[in-house]
């Protein structure tokens, strides 16, 4: 796998408490319901009932358990793309969970990553333009389709003026957003950062595109069994939608307001493969994992849990298993929650971070659903069947994306 001559950055890492969690997913409309379903091994993947799905080769998805329109103000919801809606819902929950910190807006930043942004708006308004002409196109089209919309709306709601950032790095976007949030705090540019990812692009074009690329599962008749990371019968991922957000705080700021921390973000790393637009290079993943662990001031043996990217593709799962084994060994327990939610693309890494934080907090690791026969080439201790309980040490979250994007996060239990 090669060597890494630059394992960590030069400055001494500062522990960054995670004080707030928020999510809306195919398993639940908030963190509590999502986490409960994960521990139970439930599936949020089901058949798509929309009229447009009839002629498509893929007819299943990880669809939201709670529709945003049931949560948001009706007028506001009409002016937001679905991606923006889920980001705002998750951010509101995370902010409330953190106790709504009283922080100067100049010291509050937002980082919300996404892979496709407002693609539903782009496609829908283009259809309207073609069918009905210019006068029928919504005047809100551009603010709804722009990829920075989720971060912008969250920053407006919270009054965040220390920056509203939008990493767009495919399926690594949400994890990279959290890594950037860590940097902003460590570099002294913010006291509080609201960071995460959002995605909502279950539509004919994405389903058809991934089916044509032979990346999506075609188990239309058994949705709950379609996503099966590390299983010998895996045949591709299942597209999902949702958002996950965390609140990060400078340790001194959190201590001064006596904030409760769920866990601590101890290290992060972002690398790129410079190899291929869709095929992963395990060496880049290894560098990300090793650097994140080193930056956290830990050794590989300190990692007790790996929340795997594990999308359920034949090649991707095997590449990650090899990368984890090469970077830190085969000793940690491993979970792959995309088996239950589907692949939330730009939100996937952020949801993995939330699951990792909760696993450390509660001493519980969700099972990997549908892992009936583990691929013998995967030399990892993957949790299957039922949740596993016990002390975990530190947790590693991986997120890898098309384009050769790799992001790894390391969490430790709250002091």
CB 168 within 8 A of CB 112: no
CB 172 within 8 A of CB 405: yes
Tokens representing 400 are 């890898």
Q: Please give, one letter per residue, the 3-state secondary structure of 35-103.
A: HHHHHHCCCCEEECCCHHHCCCCCCEEECCCCCHHHCCCHHHHHCCCHHHHHHHHHHHHHHHHCCCCCC
Cα–Cα distances in angstroms (integers) from residue 285 to residues 4, 229, 242, 322, in the given order: 11, 18, 25, 10
| Tokens 């907090």, residue located | 361
Catalytic annotation present for 83: no
Angle, alpha carbons 258-243-341 (nearest 5°)? 115
Classify strands 381-382 and 333-335 as parallel, antiparallel or unpaired.
Answer: parallel
CB 97 within 8 A of CB 31: yes
Closest to 244 in 3D by CA, of 93, 388, 134: 93
Catalytic annotation present for 309: yes
CB 309 within 8 A of CB 339: no
DSSP-assigned beta bridge partners for residue 300: none
Tokens representing 185 are 């705090």
Tokens representing 385 are 């069947």
Round to whole Å and give the CA distance between 211 and 129. Answer: 27
Which of 165, 262, 343, 405 is catalytic? The answer is: 343
Which of 165, 307, 309, 405 is catalytic? The answer is: 309
Tokens representing 53 are 């799905």
Cα–Cα distances in angstroms (integers) from residue 251 to residues 184, 353, 414, in the given order: 13, 19, 11
CB 281 within 8 A of CB 407: no
Which of 83, 171, 201, 203 is catalytic? The answer is: 171
Residue 165: φ, ψ to 5°: -110, 150
- Catalytic site residues? 171, 309, 343
């Amino acid at each position: 796998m090669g060597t890494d001559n630059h394992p960590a950055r030069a400055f001494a890492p500062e522990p960054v408490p995670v004080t707030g969690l928020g999510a809306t997913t195919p398993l639940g409309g908030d963190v509590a319901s999502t986490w409960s379903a994960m521990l139970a091994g439930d599936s949020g993947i089901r058949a798509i009932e929309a009229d447009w799905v009839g002629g498509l080769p893929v007819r299943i998805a990880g669809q939201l358990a709670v529709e945003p329109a049931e949560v948001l103000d009706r007028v506001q919801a009409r002016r937001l793309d679905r991606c923006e809606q889920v980001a705002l819902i998750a951010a509101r929950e995370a902010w409330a969970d953190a106790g709504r910190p009283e922080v100067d807006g100049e010291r509050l930043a937002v980082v919300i990553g996404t892979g496709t942004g407002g693609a539903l708006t782009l496609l829908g308004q283009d259809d309207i333009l073609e069918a009905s002409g210019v006068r029928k196109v919504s005047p809100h089209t551009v603010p709804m389709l722009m990829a920075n919309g989720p971060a912008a709306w969250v920053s407006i709601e919270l009054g965040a003026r220390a920056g509203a950032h939008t990493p767009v790095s495919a399926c690594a976007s949400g994890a990279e957003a959290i890594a950037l949030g860590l940097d902003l705090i460590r570099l002294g540019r913010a006291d509080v950062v609201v960071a995460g990812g959002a995605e909502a692009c279950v539509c004919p074009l994405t389903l058809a595109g991934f089916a044509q690329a032979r990346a999506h599962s075609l188990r239309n008749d058994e949705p709950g069994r379609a996503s099966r990371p590390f299983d010998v019968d895996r045949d591709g991922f299942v597209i999902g939608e949702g958002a996950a957000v965390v609140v990060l705080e400078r340790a001194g700021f959190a201590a001064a307001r006596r904030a409760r921390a769920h866990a601590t973000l101890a290290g992060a790393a972002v690398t790129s493969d410079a190899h291929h637009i869709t095929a992963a290079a395990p060496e880049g993943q290894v560098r990300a994992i090793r650097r994140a662990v080193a930056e956290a001031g830990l050794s590989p043996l300190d990692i007790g849990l790996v929340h795997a990217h594990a999308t359920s593709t034949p090649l991707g799962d095997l590449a990650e298993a090899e990368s984890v084994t090469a970077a830190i060994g085969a000793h940690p327990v491993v979970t792959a929650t995309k088996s239950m939610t589907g692949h939330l693309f730009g939100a996937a890494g952020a949801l993995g971070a939330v699951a990792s934080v909760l696993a450390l907090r509660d001493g519980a690791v969700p099972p990997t659903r549908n892992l009936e026969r583990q691929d013998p080439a995967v030399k990892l201790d993957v949790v299957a069947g039922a949740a596993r309980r016990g002390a975990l040490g530190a947790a590693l979250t991986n997120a890898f994306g098309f384009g050769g994007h790799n992001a790894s996060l390391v969490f430790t239990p709250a002091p």
